[in-house]
Copies of this chain bind each other. A is one copy, B any other.
Amino acid sequence: MAEFALHCFPQSGNAYKVALFLSLAGADWAPIVVDYFGGETRTSKWRETVNEMGEVPVLEHQGQKLSQSGIILDYLSEHFGVFGRKTPEKKREIWRWVLFDNHKFTSYFATHRWLRSFAVPLGHPEVLAFLRNRADGALAIVEKHLTGRSFLVGEGPTIADVSLLGYLYFPVAETGYDLSASHPQIYAWTRRAAALPGWRPPYQLLTGLPTERLAQG
């Protein structure tokens, strides 16, 4: 049995954030794929036994069940001693971007993707336009912040990058965002992170099949 078990499904970018960290850190982990589209996360049983918030990711480790990708990433960063920063000031700066991601970016960008690509029925055009406008505002702030920087906080990647990058690796056909054309700084940042050892795209990490790394181990 793997050291870390991750409740997830392939289309979840929030689950991918955690899977991406585990892959980058070379962790011994395995996905537990939930039948999201079949309603499993909405059942009383799942909510009582896995997560009352009805969401993936949920990470199981040493008898604990952790949810909300932001605190899972913080936990993993402490556990592995990677993708963090040492000073209180820098740690707060990481949290600031993780919160920005949750509050101002993922909440709109991910929902926009969902309503344009997966929801039944698909989202109303006014709702899609509203969400896209909000996501655009957040992307503009990140684009500006990355000018002259390689990663969000100091030198080298942190969990702030992992968090904000998560949804940017899904196919353009799903997200409706071709960042290579519209956001050169963000696009270059996605390429820098994708060059890190252990990086894999979402649908390779969250298929439920053993990962290449697990197979090697």
Asked whether, in the complex, the Cβ of A68 is within 8 Å of the Cβ of B95, the reply is: yes
Task: Write out the residue numbers on chain B whose beta carbons fall within 8 Å of the beta carbon of A3.
Answer: none
Residues A74 and B95 in contact, CB atoms below 8 Å apart: yes
Q: Which residues of B contact A144 (CB under 8 A)?
A: 52
- Say which size band chain A's interface belongs to: 35 or more
Q: Which residues of B contact A183 (CB under 8 A)?
A: none
Judge if A124 is at the interface, Cβ distance under 8 Å. Answer: yes
Measured between beta carbons, the chain B residues less than 8 angstroms from A43 are none
Could you tell me if A52 and B141 are in contact, using CB atoms closer than 8 angstroms?
yes
Q: Report how far A217 CA is from B107 CA in the complex, Å.
A: 41
| CB nearest to A125 among chain B residues | B126
Q: Are B70 and A99 in contact (CB under 8 A)?
A: yes
CA distance in complex: A104, B55 (Å) = 11
Asked whether A103 is an interface residue with its Cβ less than 8 Å from the other chain, the reply is yes
Instruction: Please tell me if the beta carbons of B92 and A71 are within 8 angstroms of each other in the complex.
Output: yes
Residue with the highest number of chain B CB atoms closer than 10 Å, among A70, A75, A96, A102: A102
Contact of A103 with B107 at beta-carbon distance under 8 Å, contacts A124-B126, A127-B127 already known? yes
Residues 106-136 of A, flagged 1 when their CB comes within 8 A of B and 0 if not, give: 1110010000000000011011001000100
Q: Is the CB of A66 within 8 A of B92?
A: yes
A216 CB to nearest B CB, Å: 31
- Interface status of A36 (Cβ within 8 A of chain B): no
| Distance in angstroms between the alpha carbons of A66 and B126 in the assembled complex | 34
State the A residues within 8 Å of B (CB).
52-55, 64, 66-71, 74-75, 89, 92, 95-96, 99-100, 102-104, 106-108, 111, 123-124, 126-127, 130, 134, 141, 144-145
* 8 sample A-B contacts, Cβ–Cβ < 8 Å, listed by A number: A66-B92, A66-B96, A68-B95, A99-B102, A102-B103, A104-B107, A107-B107, A124-B130
